[in-house]
Chains A and B, each alone.
Chain A
């Protein structure tokens, strides 16, 4: 078990390093006069050159990389070119907000998708058709349209929620809940739709297995067969999709944070991107890759718990 975890962890570290190196060179290879971009058109050539020197941009690319890498292994990802804030601070201070959205949406997705998927697979008939149609539409409509629709209806028309803004959990639990309800809902619709389809399919696959008949022949009530045995067997494939969705939700959060004016990683990302703040962009890519590695590891462990065959492998 421990060896399994260590091996997956090592593979994850390799992944992050590969991504970090590739991103570093891709971002820096594009070049351009960065000092000029930061200081603007009015700055004199000398100050621009001084700025470039200050940022180490006059050095050869490899030595820039060496400098960045020696910092990175010590947990220092440099400072933002525009705000001067350390990259690690800029990211960590925003991570909690984004994670509360993404984790919230994942939980909502897991609960609702399992309910709908099981219902559709077990009942069949028109229930199944309605769930299937809804989930096709749910996957098709982009999340930011859902978000805009929710703002329009629940915040502006009905006035149930504030259309924008964020209250942190430590300030007010109720305020936090009210602030993340619509964003989480907007994020969840698409992933609920995808995961529901997967749960439904996995349930149908499991229901077709021979052992279902044998369990029924032992006198187990139908609810026990479906919710304990069939669902447990369907949980593995569903979990894989949920993990893919978690990664996609991080991307979705960028849109949703913009629409609801929530100060998370998304705002940092959009700002850094449009300015070309390379250290910050690089830091974001690394942060998201780390998240992905952690999520995949957790999912692997859960899969081992769900499926005894994986455990020994």
Chain B
């Protein structure tokens, strides 16, 4: 328990010149911890001046004297002054901790620098040694050392430093190999700086912060270990130590339990202070390491303020088929910020999806397409929420539906096909399990029937060997296969609305066309409405009945695909088409080599200018 290595997450701190101490002073926990540690150091240094008594002088008359009078904290079972012994004992703890930290840092940091900077052979040997040392039980090794060296605290703590050095080694090696290939290190090398100069100037600055945090943690463990060895009676009985005092007090636990308090407080508070100090350092460094909240997709776009302008709406052709399946009105999506404000990423979006039609939602990355799609499913990332508008679906407003209602709708009525196939299957379960689980839960069918249906679905989406894929884990199939599996999963419960978020973007071009064909066929087969999010005009031309163009969180133009492609009125829509046309000739030779791309581009061009 006391010997556990501090292998918790160490931050990848990259800020080079952080005034560590100044940052720490601003952190309240850090200040308290620092003040306590400074007091302990002062107590150790000034012990001869501060101590009211000689720590070794025993007075038989004052055995277990209560606190007060000549003995501010009382006297121990031999009649020695507890306060004086505590003050002197802090020297043992601090020198022990310092020994461990210095030995561990010297070994671990130098090995880590060599392994990280020069790499290869040294690294594999050093890593093997590190994992060997870490599989040793520190306490048992220290006891073995004690049986040879006798009660030498410095010796034992130096050995403990060796045992815990792998912690330094790992942190440093990882940090250095991360920085080794940075451009500024290459630049320094090209500029003719020697390796040692580069290490001193660039690499050490990267390593410094994580090493200091680790040193605080290791110092805490070292103090616990040295006190523990003294407590077991394995330390030098000739000099006062916190652990030894604890041992003496434990012996009189029935007669004078208060005696336990002083050494316990000294050990416990010092260990806590060191851990809290490390945590405070980490917090401060993480806070300064970059813009604190990571920006999600779509947020950057919202920063662009777009003047409110009317949406360009194209006329519907007479006799448009199907009733409205999904009607979104004035939808706005926002993310709560740490300062209490809300960043809007989708504003005032309205469009409808009809039964049996494919509605394309097109726009550049960050225009809010995906955010819109997720808000229909009510599966926005943490912090995101619908801040305005309605999402009408089958007489219900999804914007205000309860979580339970949404769970019942998802899968059964509204399904979702994600963009990145490989990251959207749970790696720990087989494909079959991931297909049958929703079937059984949503449709309430038995295991055998679910398996049969899942196999039929796999066959339907064009998986060559369904039983094999059924039994496979996600890492055993290709991206194209995974996307087919995800489409099979989406349509498995016969949904009315399918939301496909760039379903072909992550796939090879040859596979893209097949997946689009599959979606087209399934749409007809299941009579679903499909909301297809894409940035590819070719896909829109190929598949969509109607299309809405999004930009910076708003819809700028919407209407039947044919009409919009024939006469794009908004300047942004026109710019999208121009981008395709201008790119055409430049990519010429590339496109010729691949028939599928040519076909796609041709469709797009034809659609754009018939």
Contact pick for A233, options B228, B233, B427, CB 8 Å = B427
Contacts of A190 in B (CB 8 A): 1-2, 4
Cβ contact within 8 Å between B2 and A194: no
Stretch from B118-126, B435-443, B550-558, B597-605 contacting the other chain: B435-443
A84: Cβ under 8 A from any B Cβ: no
0 or 1 for each of A203-225: is its CB under 8 Å from B? (1 = yes): 00000011101111111111010
Cβ contact within 8 Å between A216 and B254: no
Contacts of A251 in B (CB 8 A): 1-3, 137-140
Cβ contact within 8 Å between A273 and B139: no
Interface residues on chain B, number (Cβ under 8 Å)? 80
Cβ contact within 8 Å between A249 and B246: no
Contacts of A139 in B (CB 8 A): 4, 275
- Measured in the bound complex, the distance between the Cα atoms of B260 and A26 in whole Å is 37
Q: Tell whether A27 pairs with B144 under 8 Å between CB atoms, given A148-B246, A211-B423, A219-B441.
A: yes
Contacts of B177 in A (CB 8 A): none
Contacts of A229 in B (CB 8 A): 426, 428-429
- Measured in the bound complex, the distance between the Cα atoms of B407 and A282 in whole Å is 61
Contacts of B427 in A (CB 8 A): 211, 233, 307-309
Q: Tell whether A136 pairs with B140 under 8 Å between CB atoms, given A156-B257, A211-B423, A217-B379.
A: no
Stretch from A59-67, A172-180, A240-248 contacting the other chain: A240-248
Contacts of B420 in A (CB 8 A): 210
A141: Cβ under 8 A from any B Cβ: yes
Cβ contact within 8 Å between A306 and B147: no
0 or 1 for each of B324-360: is its CB under 8 Å from A? (1 = yes): 0000000000000000000000000000000000000
- Measured in the bound complex, the distance between the Cα atoms of B143 and A274 in whole Å is 8
Contact pick for B254, options A156, A197, A213, CB 8 Å = A156
- Measured in the bound complex, the distance between the Cα atoms of B430 and A123 in whole Å is 28
Stretch from B5-13, B184-192, B450-458, B587-595 contacting the other chain: B5-13
Cβ contact within 8 Å between A143 and B1: yes
- Measured in the bound complex, the distance between the Cα atoms of B146 and A275 in whole Å is 10
Stretch from B263-271, B389-397, B528-536 contacting the other chain: B263-271
- Measured in the bound complex, the distance between the Cα atoms of B147 and A281 in whole Å is 8
In the assembled complex, the CB of A76 is this many whole angstroms from the nearest CB of chain B, namely: 20
B interface: dominant SS:
helix
Contacts of A232 in B (CB 8 A): 426, 428-429
B489: Cβ under 8 A from any A Cβ: yes
Which of B4, B135, B141 is packed against the most chain A CB atoms within 10 Å?
A: B4
Stretch from B309-317, B411-419, B510-518 contacting the other chain: B411-419
B21: Cβ under 8 A from any A Cβ: no
Cβ contact within 8 Å between A306 and B428: yes
Cβ contact within 8 Å between B1 and A281: no
In the assembled complex, the CB of A23 is this many whole angstroms from the nearest CB of chain B, namely: 6
- Measured in the bound complex, the distance between the Cα atoms of B418 and A241 in whole Å is 33
Contacts of B158 in A (CB 8 A): none
B475: Cβ under 8 A from any A Cβ: yes
Cβ contact within 8 Å between A219 and B410: yes
Contacts of A281 in B (CB 8 A): 143-144, 147
Which residue on A lies nearest to B227, using beta carbons?
Answer: A142
Contact pick for B428, options A136, A148, A221, A233, CB 8 Å = A233
A288: Cβ under 8 A from any B Cβ: yes
Cβ contact within 8 Å between A211 and B425: yes
In the assembled complex, the CB of B31 is this many whole angstroms from the nearest CB of chain A, namely: 17
Cβ contact within 8 Å between B233 and A270: yes
- 9 new A-B contacts at CB < 8 Å, known A308-B430, A308-B475, A309-B475: A144-B231, A250-B140, A251-B3, A259-B250, A270-B234, A276-B148, A278-B147, A284-B143, A309-B427
Give B residues with C-beta under 8 Å from A: 1-5, 7-9, 132, 134-141, 143-144, 146-149, 220, 224, 227-228, 231-234, 246, 250, 253-254, 257, 260, 264, 267-268, 271-272, 274-276, 279, 374, 377, 379, 403, 407-412, 414-416, 418, 420, 423-430, 434, 437-438, 441-442, 473, 475, 486, 489-490, 493
